[in-house]
C-alpha cells in the first residue's frame, strides 16, 4: 500500500515540447459509473491516450479495467455480460452483501497486482476506524479495487494490513489530487456523483408489502422506503463534499454527468447510461476545443489541430468493430489472468 509514492508511466514517451502527461480520474457512483465508458469512447474517437488513471468505487473498477488495456467497447460488452447473480452473495451483517463474488469477478478480468497493469493506477479507499483516505498505487490490486467499491451498507468492509477498508467515496468521490501523485500535467475528471437536486418519490407511494419490497431491493428492482431516504440523503452529502473538495483540487476539464433519472443501482440501464456519458463528454470537449487539441498533441494523435467532428453527421471510428474480436479479447484476458494465478499457486 502506498499513500504518496508517485509512479512513472510504464509507457512513457521520449521528452517532447508538446508532450504532456495526461491523467484521468473516474468518480464513484454505482451504475452511473457506466457513463465513464461513454467518456472513454470519446477519448478513443479523438485519439487521446491517457497516461495515468485514478478512480474510486465504480470509478476504480472501470479505471482498473481500462488501465489493464480494455477499450470502451470491451468494457460495455463485459458489463452487459454480468448478471446480478454474479455479484450477489447475501450477508445481512456488516453489509447486505459479503462481496466475495465481486472479488471473484474482479479476479477473472484483472491481474493480481498493480505492477501488471499497462498504465499506472491509483485507487482510493477509506479507513473506517480513523476516517483516513488511503491511496493505493502498488501491491494487491484486487483487494484495493474491492475495498474501494465497498459502498456502506451494500458490501461488507474488508480487513487488510490491520485496517478496516471501505468505499473511497466516503472521503473523496472524485480524487483529482491522486493524479498529482502520479505527476499528471493535464487532468480530465469524469464525475458521476449524483446531482444535489433530483426528483424524490415519497416511500408511501409504494403500496407493496415490506417483504416484497425487500426482495425487490436485493434483486435491484426497487428500493425499500428506508433505502430510498438513506440513499437520497447520501447522494446530497456526497455531492456537497465532492464540490467542496473540487474547489481545492480542480481538473483541467470536468465532465459532469447529469443523470437525475439514474439511480445508484440502475445497472439494467447500461446502454442508455453509456450513451448519455458519451453525449456529455462530446459536448464538454466541443466546448473546450483548445484543450482537446492540446490533448491530441500530447498524444501525437493524427487528428490534432483539425476541426472537431460533428457527432450528428460523422460516424465514430469505432463503428462496425467486430463483436467477435472484442469477445475474443475479453476471453483471452480472462484466460491470461487465470493462468497467471494458477502458475503462482503451483509455484
Q: Which of 167, 191, 235, 252 is catalytic?
A: 167
- How many Å apart are CA 339 and CA 345, to the nearest integer? 10
Measured CA to CA in angstroms, residue 100 lies from 59, 63, 76, 83, 241 at distances of: 19, 20, 23, 15, 30
- How many Å apart are CA 285 and CA 127, to the nearest integer? 36
Instruction: Describe the chain by its helix, strand, coil percentages, rounded to 5.
Output: 45, 15, 40
Angle between helices 100-109 and 323-346 (to 10 degrees): 110
Q: If DSSP codes are grouped into helix, strand and coil, which group holds residue 328?
A: helix
Angle between helices 100-109 and 58-67 (to 10 degrees): 20
Rg (CA), the chain: 20
Q: Find residue 53's DSSP bridge partners.
A: 24, 121
Q: What is the DSSP letter of 15?
A: P
Cβ-based neighbours of 322, under 8 Å, separated by 6 or more: none
In the annotation, is 51 catalytic?
no
The alpha-helical segments, DSSP class H, found in the chain are 35-45, 58-67, 72-81, 100-109, 141-148, 177-181, 210-218, 225-248, 270-286, 289-299, 323-346
- How many Å apart are CA 236 and CA 239, to the nearest integer? 5
In the annotation, is 167 catalytic?
yes
Q: Which of 57, 190, 333, 337 is catalytic?
A: 57
Phi and psi (nearest 5°) for 223?
Answer: -110, 150
Active-site annotation, residues: 57, 167
Amino acid at each position: 500500500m502506498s499513500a504518496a509514492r508517485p509512479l512513472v508511466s510504464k509507457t512513457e514517451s521520449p521528452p517532447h515540447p508538446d508532450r504532456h502527461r495526461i491523467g484521468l480520474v473516474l468518480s464513484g457512483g454505482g451504475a452511473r459509473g457506466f457513463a465513464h465508458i461513454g467518456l472513454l469512447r470519446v477519448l478513443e474517437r479523438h485519439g487521446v491516450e491517457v497516461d495515468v488513471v485514478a478512480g474510486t468505487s465504480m470509478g476504480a473498477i472501470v479505471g482498473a479495467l481500462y488501465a489493464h488495456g480494455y477499450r470502451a467497447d470491451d468494457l460495455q460488452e463485459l458489463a452487459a455480460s454480468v448478471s446480478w447473480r454474479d455479484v450477489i452473495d447475501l450477508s445481512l451483517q456488516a453489509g447486505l452483501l459479503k462481496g466475495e463474488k465481486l472479488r471473484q469477478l474482479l479476479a477473472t478480468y484483472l491481474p493480481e497486482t498493480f505492477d501488471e497493469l499497462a498504465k499506472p493506477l491509483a485507487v482510493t479507499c477509506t479507513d473506517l476506524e480513523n476516517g483516513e483516505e488511503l491511496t493505493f498505487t502498488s501491491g494487491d490490486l484486487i483487494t484495493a479495487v474491492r475495498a474501494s467499491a465497498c459502498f456502506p451498507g451494500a458490501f461488507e468492509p474488508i480487513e487488510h494490513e490491520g485496517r478496516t477498508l471501505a468505499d473511497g467515496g466516503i472521503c473523496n468521490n472524485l480524487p483529482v489530487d491522486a493524479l498529482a501523485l502520479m505527476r499528471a500535467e493535464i487532468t480530465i475528471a469524469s464525475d458521476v456523483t449524483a446531482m444535489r437536486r433530483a426528483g424524490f418519490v415519497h416511500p408511501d407511494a409504494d403500496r407493496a408489502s415490506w417483504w416484497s419490497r425487500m426482495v425487490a431491493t436485493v434483486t435491484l428492482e426497487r428500493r425499500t422506503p428506508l433505502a430510498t431516504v438513506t440513499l437520497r440523503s447520501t447522494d446530497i452529502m456526497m455531492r456537497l463534499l465532492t464540490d467542496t473538495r473540487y474547489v481545492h483540487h480542480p481538473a483541467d476539464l470536468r465532465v459532469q454527468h447529469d443523470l437525475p433519472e439514474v439511480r445508484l443501482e440502475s445497472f439494467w440501464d447500461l446502454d442508455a447510461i453509456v450513451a448519455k456519458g458519451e453525449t456529455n463528454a462530446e459536448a464538454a470537449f466541443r466546448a473546450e476545443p483548445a484543450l482537446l487539441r492540446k490533448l491530441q498533441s500530447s498524444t501525437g494523435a493524427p487528428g490534432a489541430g483539425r476541426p472537431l467532428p460533428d457527432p450528428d453527421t460523422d460516424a465514430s471510428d469505432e463503428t462496425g468493430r467486430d463483436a467477435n474480436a472484442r469477445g475474443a479479447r475479453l476471453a483471452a484476458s480472462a484466460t491470461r489472468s487465470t493462468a497467471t494465478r494458477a502458475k503462482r499457486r503451483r509455484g
